[in-house]
Amino acid sequence: MKRALLVIMLSLATSAAFAESAPDFKLAGQNGAVNLNLLRGKVVYVDFWASWCGPCRKSFPWLNQMSSRYGKKGLIVVGINLDKERALADGFLKETPAQFTIAFDPTGGTADAYQVKGMPSSFLIDKKGNIIYKHQGFRDQDTAALEKKIKAAVEGS
């Protein structure tokens, strides 16, 4: 029993010591600069998207729901657009409005820092600034599991 407890404690300490810190970013946004460090203390759902991405278009209504449902509990959704031309992003947003924070990264530097491999790619960041979950793509059948992770993060479990 004591040995099992020791193994659990060591694994918890090890995983905490090697938590992956989310790369900071400061990007232009629709309503001013978006700086990840200034969001510390909140749970942040970072979603990388582009105007040409079909699954991104499908994800926005769900992201709007998550922002609405968990925003008062401390969730901030940040959609980072990777289009090189701002007009493409603006056209997408006119057709598919976002009710969450939008930032623009036309050089793709933030996507490189997060090692984005496909679109959309999302990262759930805890209140301490650590990445606690990564997800690539968007499928309706994944939304319940994603929401469960968001809920657990904002509730602190």
Q: Which pLDDT tens digit goes with each residue over 77-100?
A: 999 999 999 999 999 999 999 999
Model pTM score: 0.87
Amino acid 10: pLDDT: 38
Amino acid 26: pLDDT: 98
Domains and CATH numbers, the chain: 21-155 (3.40.30.10)
Amino acid 157: pLDDT: 54
Provide the CA 82 distance to its chain's centre, in angstroms: 14
pLDDT averaged per 10 residues, the chain (length 157): 40 51 97 95 98 97 98 97 98 97 98 96 97 96 96 88
- For 112-117, which contacts have Cβ atoms below 8 Å and span 24 or more sequence positions? 113/23, 113/25, 114/22, 114/23, 114/46, 114/48, 116/48, 116/82
Which tokens hold the place of 89?
């992003």
Q: How far is CA 61 from CA 3, 12, 113, 149, 157, in A?
A: 48, 36, 26, 18, 26
